[in-house]
Amino acid sequence: MTATPDLEAQQQQIEEDIKLLERISNRDAAAFQTFYSKYSGLIFAAVSNVLNDHHDTEDVMQEVLVQLWNKAHLYEPRKGKPLTWLTTLARNRAIDRIRSKQRRARLNDDFEMENKKLQFEFEESGSEALEIKERDRVLLSAVERLNDEQREAIRLAYFDGLTQAEVAERLNEPLGTIKARIRRGVNRLESLVRPRLA
């Protein structure tokens, strides 16, 4: 039984895409441009469906393209079609962006109890509660005062949206070391932030 023309065309398309990914893994810019031109619309749709935010979608699009350029060699034909791999890559980056925002919010929440105590003290003395923007400014300033190891771990975990396991892998450090580093970093941030808000 012979394949229908449609199936033959689909298979040919898959084979062409596999070859493009192989060329991209060898740093072939022309292949990258061809692949991007074919699928940029689908990447945008996959990311936009997750984020529903134009600015974030454009940012994640750029991140996906960087990943495509740097990780094309990780594609394995036996695990699925190139387009499926690319779409999964795009959706995962979009989900990472959501997680990153949630982690940034959580970092602020880590200090919320202290802030509430301080706000209560200010209210008792007739002073206004600190604005959220001011708290963020103080917090970001405090992050810059951490040592290099703590600052990098905090940045990856809370601002880039990585899990502690992913941070450990990125920094090539044991997971226990990273957990302790992040914990010490958060404690250090609290000691830096509280006097400035008091």
CB atoms within 10 A of CB 193: 21
Note whether 197 and 135 are within 8 A (CB). yes
Res. 19: pLDDT tops 90: yes
Share of the chain above pLDDT 70, in %: 78
Cβ-Cβ contacts under 8 Å for 159 (sequence gap 6 or more):
100, 103, 104, 107
Q: Report the CATH number at residue 140.
A: 1.10.10.10
In a domain, 128, yes or no: yes
Residue 18: predicted pLDDT: 92
- The answer to whether residue 2 is domain-embedded is no
Could you say which of 72, 101, 130 is where a domain stops?
Answer: 101
Over the chain, what is the mean pLDDT? 79
Q: Is the domain of 95 the same as that of 119?
A: no
Burial level of 103, CB count in 10 A (0-12/13-18/19+)?
middle
Model pLDDT, residue 123 = 46
Whether residue 177 is found in the same domain as residue 123: yes
CATH number at residue 80: 1.10.1740.10
Do residues 116 and 159 both lie within one domain? yes
Q: 125: exposed, middle or buried (C-beta count within 10 Å: 0-12, 13-18, 19+)? A: exposed
Same domain, 72 and 127: no
Identify the band that residue 136 occupies on the pLDDT scale cut at 50, 70 and 90: low
Residue at 159 is within a domain? yes
Q: What would the mean pLDDT of 176-186 be, rounded to a whole number?
A: 87
pLDDT for 156: 84
Kindly state whether residue 21 falls inside one of the protein's structural domains.
Answer: yes
Residue 1 lies in a domain: no
Of 101, 130, 153, which residue is a domain's last?
A: 101
Query: Is residue 3 domain-resident?
Result: no
- Whether 120 and 97 map to the same domain: the answer is no
CA distance 173 to 185: 16
Reported as a single tens digit per residue, the pLDDT across 63-74 is 888 888 888 888
- State pTM to two decimals: 0.50
Least confident of 33-37, 125-129, 181-185: 125-129
Asked whether residue 132 is domain-assigned, the answer is: yes
Residue 142: give the domain boundaries: 110-197
Tokens representing residue 99 in the block: 């997680």
pLDDT tens track for 84-109: 898 888 888 888 888 777 766 666 65
Number of domains present in the structure of the chain? 2
Q: What's the pLDDT tens digit per position in 112-133?
A: 554 554 444 444 444 444 455 6
Express each pLDDT in 52-61 by its tens digit: 788 888 888 8
- Are residues 159 and 101 in contact, defined by beta-carbon separation less than 8 angstroms? no
